[in-house]
Amino acid sequence: MIRGITDGVKHLIIINVLMFIGTLTIGNGELFYQWFALYFPKNELFQPWQIVTHMFMHGNATHILFNMFALWMFGTAVEAQLGTKKFLFIYFSAGLGAVLFQLGYYYFNYLPLYSELISTGLTDSEIVQMFTSNETISGINDSQLSLLREAFPIYNASMVGASGCIMGILAAFGMMNPEAKLMLIFLPIPIKAKYFIPGIILLDVISAFTGQSFFSPSNTAYMAHVGGALIGFIIMWYWKKNQFNQNRWY
């Protein structure tokens, strides 16, 4: 391995950087994004492979820089302690958990709005047409318009980034190194991992349900962070509980 970085982390960073270059250079920054970002499943741009490919996509330079820095910092430690196979298992499992939580959150908010729109007399094709074109059809009343405005950003939402995967790795790191002291760049106060990581997750939950952003941009998929961290925690809890059990995962 290269000094200071494990093989699994190194290859993940390379793939993420290549995908970011593709985003910048293919299709004027739009076509590549539409292929590989994860769209809301009701949206016509959704494709099954996006469930995995979005984990290697990033919105801008700052996004990928912070994610790759976190992957290097925590991923290298986790991979060195667990080995590459277990590290990658946590990484991709957390990414899938992030998808499950974020899409579940979207559906939780979208379906009641969609049902109300249907109950007002609009058809599915009319709703999709307005969401796709971003233009209302004739005869829309104020109540319908209000519902459309609430549902529109969910229908057209897209999700990119390795944050859900990294949150799973962060949770694994915290469980293996609970006494390790961590701190935020803009809040240089050392806090033990066993307090720091649950605190970050709690702030993500608050942000998801209140819209109040603490450390991330307002368009962050907060429930993806929660889902990734929860899956990372569950996997590590199972492994620690069954570390001498023949059913443990290798």
- What CATH number did the domain enclosing 213 receive? 1.20.1540.10
Residue 149 lies in a domain: yes
Residue 2 lies in a domain: no
Residue 1 lies in a domain: no
Residue 159 lies in a domain: yes
Percent of the chain with pLDDT over 70: 88
Number of domains in the chain: 1
- Only one residue has tokens 């080995």, namely 83
Residue 202 lies in a domain: yes
Range of the domain at 188: 7-241
User: What is the DSSP track for 156-213?
Assistant: T-EE--SHHHHHHHHHHHHHH-TT-EEEETTEEEEEEHHHHHHHHHHHHHHHHHH---
What's the pLDDT score for residue 217? 58
Sign of the torsion formed by the C-alpha atoms of 78, 3, 52 and 211 = positive
Paired tokens of 41: 């499943």
Q: Give 28-82 pLDDT, tens digit per residue.
A: 778 999 999 999 999 999 999 999 999 999 989 999 999 999 999 999 999 999 9
The reported pTM is: 0.87
Residue 134 lies in a domain: yes
Residue 104 lies in a domain: yes
Residue 200 lies in a domain: yes
Paired tokens of 169: 């790795």
Q: Give 147-178 pLDDT, tens digit per residue.
A: 999 999 999 999 999 999 999 999 999 888 87
